[in-house]
Amino acid sequence: MADRRKYVVGITDHMIGTPDLEAEVLGDDVEIDFFASTDETAFAPDRLKRLDALMVWGARIGPKTIVHLSSCKGVVRYGVGYEKIDLAALAGAGIPFANNPDYGTEEVADHALAMILSLHRRLWQHDALARGYRSGWQIHSLKPLSRSNQATVGVVGVGRIGTAVINRLKPFGFRILGYDPVQPPGHEKAIGYERTEELNELLARSDIVTLHCPANGETRGMMNTDGLAKLKPGAIIVNTARGELIDDLDALETALRSGHLAAAGIDTLVKEPPGDHPLLAAWRSREDWLAGRLVITPHNAFYSDHAAAEMRRNAARTVRILLDEGKLRNQVTDKS
């Protein structure tokens, strides 16, 4: 019996077992070449040359890989971000690139809301301090602590996830501001938030700021020393988007130590796992001054069992459409 396989799809790496779900979506006429590595220097040129498409999880993809993708019709990333993908080199080689934005929206929105509510109610700080209470109990209320309907949340980036966050915030009564120059006029009326035309206005008016924008030339480092200084004193910041938005840990530490920043919830960092830094050392050792004020989760806001399967199937479906129709959905161009 003749071999029915006519396409070869490469998968660089995977954090959830073998690519069985991908094989199910791609079909019997696709051979999967699983590299099982995040190190692009380990990708053999002869294997790369065979690929009709390449799926990428956590590996960097640069010129050393791209030069050998001579038969590749497209590169598809499992996730939303693509900081590790050299879009310019892909464009130079005539290879289109797509990310995978339509998964995990509910999970990231839930994660952001959990951080917002818990930091606003000062739950982690209560938990940390209550361990040491030896007298009294209810008298140890933390102040200031406002009602939800007396607090303003600023949402930076009102796309899929930002919109989902706004929809979750509404029942709690928060006043909601949104900043997103990409969204058309009237978007705020359809979704239900107050639009700010300038980021600085949102920062100055918000008690809580939650970030839901991509990392690009305009947004990288947006919440460093200058950005943090523009926040209302005693504000809370939540970042479930990209680590590059808050890439200066010195600035974050200074803002937390001074009290200008009341608390921060972070799911994504520039370096993961994080290395050594005085702020991280204080967080790891639960130093009293920081107790309950800095919450870090290991870049898993996107995750649920359902979202993980959805992500893999959606990415594979994007490749299948490319192979069948020559069309690459969710295509991204270099705008850095």
> In this predicted model, what pLDDT tens digit does every residue of 146-178 receive, in sequence order?
999 999 999 999 999 999 999 999 999 999 999
Residue 16 — very low, low, confident or very high, per pLDDT cuts 50/70/90? confident
pLDDT given at position 216: 87
List the domains of the chain with CATH numbers: 7-103+305-332 (3.40.50.720), 105-296 (3.40.50.720)
The pLDDT value recorded for residue 83 is 84
Q: Where are the alpha helices (DSSP H) in 73-158?
A: 87-92, 105-120, 123-130
Please give the pLDDT value at position 1. 40
Tell me the C-alpha distance between 314 and 101, whole Å. Answer: 9
Catalytic residue among 111, 220, 242, 320: 242
Q: What is the mean pLDDT of residues 102-125?
A: 95
DSSP state of 175: E
pTM: 0.87
Contact between residue 181 and residue 198 where contact means Cβ atoms under 8 Å apart: no
Q: What is the pLDDT of residue 215?
A: 87
In the structure, what pLDDT confidence band is assigned to residue 4 with cuts at 50, 70 and 90?
low
**β 97-98/152-156 pair status:** unpaired
User: Tell me, what's the pLDDT at 3?
Assistant: 56
The confidence band for 313, taking pLDDT boundaries of 50, 70 and 90, is very high
Q: What residues contact 133, with CB distance under 8 A and at least 6 apart?
A: 140
Query: What integer is the mean pLDDT of 196-223?
Result: 95
Structure tokens at 177: 């501001």
What pLDDT shows up at residue 335?
Answer: 60
Active site residue 299: yes
Q: What is the mean pLDDT of residues 89-103?
A: 94
Mean pLDDT, residues 243-266? 97
Residue 272 annotated in active site: yes
Residue 321 has pLDDT above 60, yes or no: yes
Mean local confidence (pLDDT), 191-219: 95
Site of tokens 């938990």: 127
* Distance separating alpha carbons of residues 49 and 98, to the nearest angstrom: 20
What number is the average pLDDT over the span 302-328? Answer: 94
Asked if residue 306 lies in contact with residue 104, where contact means CB atoms within 8 angstroms, the answer is no
Using N-to-C axis directions, what is the helix angle for 105-120 and 123-130, rounded to 10°? Answer: 50
Mean pLDDT of 189-216: 96
| 242 belongs to the catalytic site | yes
Active-site residue, selected from the candidate residues 299, 313, 317, 329: 299
The 3-state DSSP class for residue 68 equals coil
Closest CA to 302 of 67, 111, 97, 129: 111
Which of 272, 286, 287, 306 is catalytic? The answer is: 272
Q: Is pLDDT larger for residue 66 or for residue 334?
A: 66
Q: Best-predicted range by mean pLDDT among 12-16, 136-140, 192-196?
A: 192-196
Q: 336 pLDDT exceeds 70?
A: no
Interatomic CA distance for residues 332 and 66, integer angstroms: 16
